Structure 1
Amino acid sequence: MYDVIKMIHSYWAYLVVIMLVVATFNALIKFFGNKEFHAVDFRISLFTLIVMHIQLLIGLILYFTSPFGLKNITNNGMGGLDSFSRLLAVEHPFVGILAVTFITIGYSKHKKKLTSKPKFKMLAIFYTLGFLLVLSRIPWSNWF
């Protein structure tokens, strides 16, 4: 089961990164270009939110079934983890949860705004923060 969940989490991450790039640059370009907010912009931000939440759920399942997640901390303690083990067991999950939180906040805040500029501003700020957090803690050596 662990191998299947790991594979799903790894391949779903490509969709997450693609959607974050699209949503972040869509919000930034339209914010700075003073464009109107349309249904396609809403769909892009919503689909990105959904993809991120699915990745979080898959990641949480993986965290509890993986020998590199909670089991690694339980067996070795926090002091017994090397930098790569700490990345997989602590930093990657924590920063992933933060990224999903920022994206959820941005999505929620943008819905309360009535005009286009503030909508794109909320999406641009929070989706960019989430995107940067995701990029900062991808285990690149495992990914390629």
Structure 2
Amino acid sequence: MYHFIQKFHSGWAYLALLLLVFAVVNSFMGMSSKREFTAKDRKIALFGLIATHVQLLVGLILYFVSPLGHALLGEMKDSAARLTSLEHPLINIIAIVLITIGWSKHKKGETNTAKFKSIAVFYGIGLLLILSRIPWKMWF
């Protein structure tokens, strides 16, 4: 079961990252062209939000069933162990909180530019944080 969850978490990450990149690029394009914020734009951002939340839930399940998670907590001097047991989960939780804040703020935006800006900024920061803490050596 652990290996299935691990593979799902790794595979779903591609989809989540793709949707986040698409949402950020779409928002920057919408802001720069000063176009109207449509239902399509809302759905693009919503799919990015949903994908990251699914990734978070699967990641939390993986963390608590992983034989590595509990064993590595005492080995904080090893950078690879620290990345997978502390930095990756913590930074990604912060990133998903920022993405969620961006979703909430866009709903309160009164102008099209404000809606696009909320998504672009918060989703963009979340995306950068996620990219900064991916265990690249384990991913490829």
Q: Which amino acid counterpart does residue 127 of structure 1 have in structure 2?
A: Y
Distance in 2, Cα, partners of 1:57 & 1:72: 21
Q: Identify the residue that residue 83 of structure 1 maps to in structure 2.
A: 79
Distance in 1, Cα, partners of 2:90 & 2:70: 12
Q: Identify the residue that residue 36 of structure 1 maps to in structure 2.
A: 36
Distance in 1, Cα, partners of 2:35 & 2:70: 46
* Cα shift at 1:70: 3.2
TM-score w.r.t. the length of structure 2 is: 0.96
Q: Identify the residue that residue 120 of structure 2 maps to in structure 1.
A: 124
* Cα shift at 1:67: 2.0
* Cα shift at 1:29: 1.3
Alignment of 1:13-92 (within 5 A): 13-73=13-73, 77-79=74-76, 81-92=77-88
Q: Which amino acid counterpart does residue 10 of structure 2 have in structure 1?
A: S
Q: Identify the residue that residue 137 of structure 2 maps to in structure 1.
A: 141
* Cα shift at 1:113: 1.1
Q: Identify the residue that residue 5 of structure 1 maps to in structure 2.
A: 5
SS at match of 2:68: coil
TM-score w.r.t. the length of structure 1 is: 0.93
Contact (CA 8 Å) 1:64, 1:71: kept in 2 or not? Answer: no
Distance in 2, Cα, partners of 1:17 & 1:70: 27
Percent of pairs with identical residues = 51
Q: Which amino acid counterpart does residue 137 of structure 2 have in structure 1?
A: S
After TM superposition, where is structure 1 displaced by more than 6 Å over at least 4 residues in a row? none
Contact (CA 8 Å) 1:110, 1:123: kept in 2 or not? Answer: yes
Among 99, 105, 121, which residue is 1:103 paired with? Answer: 99
Gaps of 5+ in 1: none
Name the count of aligned residue pairs: 140
- What's the RMSD between the two structures over aligned residues? 1.1
SS at match of 1:40: helix
Gaps of 5+ in 2: none
Distance in 2, Cα, partners of 1:119 & 1:38: 10
Quick check: 1:93 aligned with 2:57? no
Contact (CA 8 Å) 1:24, 1:127: kept in 2 or not? Answer: yes
Distance in 2, Cα, partners of 1:70 & 1:30: 45
